[in-house]
Amino acid sequence: MNPKRKQRLLAVTFIVVGVGAAVGLALFALSQNINLFFNPSQIAAGEAPVDQRIRVGGMVVEGSVNRDPNSLAVTFNLTDYNGVVTVAYTGILPDLFREGQGVVTQGRLDTQGIFQADEVLAKHDENYMPPEIQRAVDKAKQAEATN
Amino acid sequence: MWSSFKRWFHQWGSPKWFYERSLVWSRWLGVIALVCIPAGILWGLLFAPEDYQQGNSFRIIYLHVPAAVLAQSCYVLMAAAGFVGLVWKMKVADVVLKSAAPIGASFCFLALFTGAVWGKPTWGTWWVWDARLTSMLILLFLYFGVIALESAIQDAITAGKAAAVLCIVGVVNIPIIKYSVEWWNTLHQPATFKLTEKPAMPMEMWLPLLIMIIGIYAFFGYALFLRSRNEIIERERRTLWVRELVERESAA
């Protein structure tokens, strides 16, 4: 490789490494702001600001969904298996909203520690399955539970 | 081994060699794309089983994932071409970079668009500013930047240099897109396919997807060779070999 080429190679490598390091540091410094939502355990630890628009994401706890029979109001608990936060929401829930499924909610944390949501988004996981297989899995789980 | 690689590298760096050899390659890639894309689309949309939670709307994966994967690969290819162009001053590298940009931008747009269409029924929103979606949007803007630089600067060599620098700098975004779903909390789910693990999807679902991905890559190769050949002819129009080629073609 001739010296001129080597010089250019070094310059380009320097640019890539330099930009990479700068962006890496910036992202590391901003990581709290890049996270789309707070985890329930962060809320429980008091890391989330009160009465500011934030998002909370987690799994809907099985059996925690309470629907008001006279309105669209609903409350449910979200967990990340470390902490739990109660969410209150009035409106239509997305089709994929169900117990044991991940959701991301947007709203404000009130002073009682209840999250007053004005938007609920369903989060889909990376697993895909045909419905027959899901039924087979459920059946196997049931058989195990009765045994 | 090394010397034969070096020879191969320099041969493909010659516009004339590239022009002559790429015809066969583009034809074969075109045939593969023509077989794989209709097969993958029909299989995926009509015969693959539906998902236990999303029902039929999951089928958009057969367009969304290949488009997203290709948009990222294309940018890496452009950065590699930019690197070769800057260091070795190869004309063909500049040509490839310029020709790839609009194809990559189209697929990037397709990935964002199909993602939004899928997001509405699944998540309940068209768009959310999470790390994956935002970094993908930045990729689209990087593509626009490359295209704009190429067309804003008259001199092909200067334009090639400017675009190459943008590509190399922008390639930092690619690992950010890839790992955004692992580094941060996002609404977008993590990858279903990993090189080291079993896919989180049964075979009758991922096989048509694999065929689609192969088809899309073949189509990309086909389109890239075609566009590059065009660009080479235009840039080399004053050279002897192109003039001879034109005379031969017009005489025939």
Q: Which pLDDT score, from 0 to 100, does residue B151 have?
A: 93
DSSP string, B138-151: HHHHHHHHHHHHHH
Q: Where are the alpha helices (DSSP H) in A35-124?
A: 40-44
pLDDT tens for each residue of B179-210: 998 888 888 988 888 777 777 888 888 999 99
Residue B203 burial (C-beta neighbours within 10 Å; 0-12, 13-18, 19+): exposed
B183 in contact with A, Cβ within 8 Å? yes
* pTM (predicted TM-score): 0.89
Calculate how close chain A gets to B34, using CA atoms only, in Å. 28
Chain A positions contacting chain B at CB under 8 Å are 5, 8-9, 12, 15-16, 19-20, 23, 27, 31, 34-37, 39, 57, 94-96, 101, 104, 119-134
Residue A147 — very low, low, confident or very high, per pLDDT cuts 50/70/90? low
Helix (H, G, I), strand (E, B) or coil at A33: helix
pLDDT tens for each residue of B50-81: 888 888 888 999 999 999 999 999 999 999 99
Q: Tell me how many degrees the CA angle A38-A125-A109 measures, rounded to the nearest 5.
A: 20
Greatest Cα pair distance, chain B, in angstroms, is 64
Q: Is the ipTM of this complex over 0.90?
A: no
CB-nearest to A126 from B168, B189, B202 is B189
CB-nearest to B185 from A23, A36, A119 is A36
- Name the residue with higher pLDDT: B136 or A31: B136
CB contact at 8 A, A108 and A115: yes
| Cross-chain Cβ contact B122/A122 below 8 Å | yes
- Name the residue with higher pLDDT: A4 or B220: B220
B187 in contact with A, Cβ within 8 Å? yes
CB-nearest to A34 from B87, B184, B204 is B184
Mean pLDDT of A73-93: 90
Residue B235 — very low, low, confident or very high, per pLDDT cuts 50/70/90? very high
Share of chain A above pLDDT 70, in %: 99
Residue of chain B whose Cα is closest to the Cα of A16: B169
Residue A81 — very low, low, confident or very high, per pLDDT cuts 50/70/90? confident
